[in-house]
A and B are shown apart, each in its own frame.
Chain A
Amino acid sequence: MPSNNKVDISVIIPLFNEEKSVTPLIKAVFKAVNTLQKPFEVLLVDDGSEDQTFAIAKSLAQTHRNLRVIKFRKNYGQTPAMVAGIEHAKGNILITMDGDLQNDPADIPNFIRKINEGFDIVVGWRIKRQDKLISRKIPSQIANWLIGKVTGVPIKDNGCSLKAYRREVIQNVPLYSEMHRFIPAMGSIMGAKIAELKVSHHARKFGYSKYGLSRIYKVLLDLLTVKTIISFSSKPMVIFGTLAFIFALISLLTILVGAIQVLATATASVVVLVGTSMLSGILSFFLLFSGILCELIFRTGTVKIDRFSQITAFTDFKSTGNK
């Protein structure tokens, strides 16, 4: 990655068909971030827009030297757009926000301040949400409640795009599919320090909503996945091994009972017991080998879960040094 000039703050904004919002958005963002008097960059990720979004962004990039535009070949969704932004960002603090002017760029300095206080992830919380009640607010509240319950990290507004991350932290969180919603949860479970900040929220001025928390069942399945992965990731062998042991025990017990019955009464029918025994025996072996396989995959993978907390400790050290 080219890093000829030092950048402190990267603002990442995914855009999808936001031709009317781009110009005012860029103006507001530049105005807000300029007050910090630190070198910064703005990364626009055009998520395969079909309107003039890219053309407008491109012409803006000619006058703003620290505005970069990444154009996707087609529409991939919000998480990939954010991932692309994160991969291309040069700053030490990364800010993500929506491209639809619903987040207020004036909040950005507060986020930077919070990160400098020593937090790894700062999450926005839209207290006065300006969206439709039935189709947007209620589903999102249900989802937030569920995510909080299951992951044990009660974040009030997972759907708010305005977030700030310390670079080392976000670049180690595996992001794919629609995982951006779970960044705070994953981060927290792995040891990152998280803060919540109240942010203002505006009603949509242009266009209509393209991303949303509306598809609850997908969130639910992703949530299940994240939960399973996180609980498995640190010790796959222990969990699979325990299950394997339980089934081995069932297998042994049933065959023993069967044997005793046969010895006691010569006419006893033990088909059920022997069948159960064999099947649980097979399952036991299968689970054992699955555990070994998982262990192997974790060893060879590039995402190291245990490295995460080490990095957090390191950044904590650095932030106290900054003070």
Chain B
Amino acid sequence: MKENLELSVIIPITEKNRQYNVEELHYLYKKNVERTKKTYEFIYVLDGNFPEEFQVLQDLKKKGECLKILKLAKWFGESIALSAGFENSDGKLILTLPAYPQIDEEEIPKIINAVNGHDMIIARRWPRMDGFINKVQNQAFHRLVKITTGTNFNDLGSGVRIFRRQVGEEVQIYGDQHRFFPLLAKRYGFKVAEINVRQSPKDAFSRVYSFGIYLRRMLDLLTVFFLIKFTKKPLRFFGLSGVTVFLIGAFLSFYLFIQRMFFHVPLADRPIILLALLLIVLGIQIFAIGLIGEIIIFTHARELKEYTIEQVVN
């Protein structure tokens, strides 16, 4: 283990790269990282099978470049790739860079220096040079994030982030949530900030993803929303909605019962009775699920730490 390494640069390679070769990118990144005069290491994480990139990186290593190559057994997604890179890094600061140009490489020293006084810095690509569709979907996404979580971020899609080792150690990310990593870090009490950097002209093409990707992103946002809002009190949410649904169902049934008994309105041809009964059933089920959630939290309350400690004196 290198004790005094200042900076670890993690570059996950998660998709086949059409236009850019790794070697070129490596030298570009390296040149700009060196300008900060910090001791550094490069860590490449190959997320799955990338024979060409693997070969290129091995050749680079033979040429004496200071880099580690991690090869994951199969495709796990960017979050896992980043975690794997983090676990194998030694630097006090972690800089993640995408395997394709997102920002103008000249801005890297500025990002590294901006971390002083913060725990995490996100490079916000601004002003955006993308096409109209990209701008719109970007704004819509971040607006949604702001509404659901109450945090103000403008470029969660940026792969260029720098953070202190502690942040990575304390904040758990899973699934596809690397996108929300800054958000979770902020929730843990770390100082997170965005700085504006020039976007790489090569990044400014329009992207339209498949429907599945948008759906997954929404689900991730929903997960994060629930993690933030209700982790510690599931029964508050589920209990309230369950009881509401149950009561609607109960009142409806009662109303139908009165009509049937005292006003002789036949029930048989009124499907609404089924709705009333369904609501009662659904209400009980929601409440039961909330109770189960609460019991999970309750029985694990000793392990789930609700707080993060910055310092202990004496």
Is the Cβ of A283 less than 8 Å from the Cβ of B284? yes
How many angstroms between the C-alpha atoms of A126 and B88 in the bound complex?
55
A73 contacts B309, C-beta separation under 8 Å:
yes
Within the assembled complex, what's the spacing in Å between the Cα atoms of A286 and B310?
44
Contacts of A245 in B (CB 8 A): none
CB distance from B295 to the nearest CB of A (A): 5
Question: A68–B313 contact, CB under 8 A?
Answer: yes
Cβ-defined partner of B233 (8 Å) among A58, A225, A272, A276: A225
Looking at the assembled complex, report how far the CB atom of A73 sits from the nearest CB atom of chain B, in whole angstroms.
3
Q: Nearest chain A CB to B217's CB is how many angstroms away? A: 27
Contact A272:B267 (CB < 8 A) given known A69-B314, A81-B307, A279-B278:
yes
Contacting residues of chain B (267-312) with chain A, CB-CB under 8 angstroms? 267-269, 273-274, 277-278, 281, 284-285, 288-289, 291-292, 294-304, 306-312
User: If A76-B307, A297-B299 touch, does A57 touch B285 (CB 8 Å cutoff)?
Assistant: no
Given contacts A72-B309, A279-B278, whether A229 and B295 have CB atoms under 8 Å apart is: yes
A301 touches B189 (CB 8 A): no
* Residues of B close to A301: CB separation below 8 A: 295-296, 298-300
Interface size class of A (residues with CB under 8 A): 35 or more
Q: Please tell me if B156 contacts chain A, counting CB pairs below 8 Å.
A: no
CA distance A252 to B298 in the complex (A): 36
Partner of B299 from A58, A80, A283, A298 at Cβ < 8 Å: A298
Residues of B within 8 A of A67 (CB): 314
Least CB distance, B290 to chain A, in whole angstroms = 9
Instruction: Tell me the nearest residue of chain B to A74, going by C-beta.
Output: B189
Q: Which residues of chain B come closer than 8 Å to A270, judged between CB atoms?
A: 268
Instruction: Tell me the complex Cα distance, A297–B295, Å.
Output: 7
Which of A97-105, A136-144, A171-179, A311-319 lies at the binding interface?
Answer: A171-179
Cβ A73 vs Cβ B294 within 8 A? no
Query: In this assembly, does A150 line the interface, its C-beta being within 8 Å of a C-beta of chain B?
Result: no
Shortest Cβ distance from A261 into chain B, in angstroms? Answer: 11
- Point out which of A65, A236, A271 has the most chain B C-beta atoms below 10 A from its C-beta: A271
Q: Is the CB of B285 within 8 A of A283?
A: yes
Give bound CA distance, A76 to B284, whole Å: 33
Q: Mark A230-271, 1 if CB is under 8 A from B, else 0.
A: 001100100010000000000000000000000000000111
In the complex, whether B236 has a CB less than 8 A from a CB of chain A is yes
The CA of A112 and the CA of B92, in the complex, are separated in Å by 46
Q: How far is the CB of B41 from chain A (nearest CB, A)?
A: 28
A294 at interface, CB cutoff 8 A: yes
Q: Let me know if B163 is at the binding interface, CB within 8 A.
A: no
> Which residues in chain A, 274-305, are within 8 Å of chain B measured between CB atoms?
275-276, 279-280, 282-283, 286-287, 290, 293-294, 297-298, 300-303
Partner of B296, one of A79, A276, A283, A297: A297
Complex alpha-carbon distance, A67 and B312, angstroms: 11
B26 at the interface (CB under 8 A from A): no
- Is B181 part of the binding interface, using a Cβ–Cβ cutoff of 8 Å? no
Bound: A72/B313 CA distance, A: 12
Contacting pair B309 A84 (CB below 8 A): yes
CA distance A177 to B277 in the complex (A): 34
Across the interface, B314 reaches (CB within 8 A) one of A65, A83, A294, namely A65
- B188 within 8 Å of A (CB atoms): yes
Find chain B residues with CB under 8 A from A66 CB.
314
Question: Which residues of B are found within 8 Å of A58, using beta-carbon distances?
Answer: 313
Whether the pair B308, A71 counts as a contact (CB closer than 8 A) is no
Also in contact, A177 and B310, with CB within 8 A (given A232-B291, A272-B273, A286-B285):
no
For residue A308, give the distance in angstroms from its CB to the closest CB of chain B: 13
Residues in chain A near residue B235, CB distance under 8 A: 221, 224-225, 228
Whether B292 contacts A176 by the Cβ 8 Å rule is no
A118 CB within 8 Å of chain B: no
Other than the known A71-B310, A293-B292, what 14 A-B pairs have Cβ atoms closer than 8 Å?
Answer: A61-B314, A72-B189, A72-B310, A73-B308, A79-B306, A174-B299, A232-B291, A275-B273, A275-B277, A279-B274, A294-B292, A301-B299, A302-B303, A303-B300
- Show the binding face of B for A, using Cβ within 8 Å: 188-190, 232-233, 235-236, 239-240, 267-269, 273-274, 277-278, 281, 284-285, 288-289, 291-292, 294-304, 306-314
22 residue pairs from A and B, CB less than 8 Å apart? A69-B313, A71-B312, A73-B188, A73-B190, A80-B307, A84-B309, A174-B302, A176-B304, A221-B233, A225-B294, A229-B298, A240-B288, A271-B274, A275-B277, A280-B281, A283-B281, A286-B288, A287-B284, A290-B288, A297-B299, A301-B296, A303-B300
Q: Which 6 A-B residue pairings sit nearest by Cβ, starting from the closest?
A: A301-B299, A73-B189, A74-B189, A174-B301, A269-B268, A69-B313
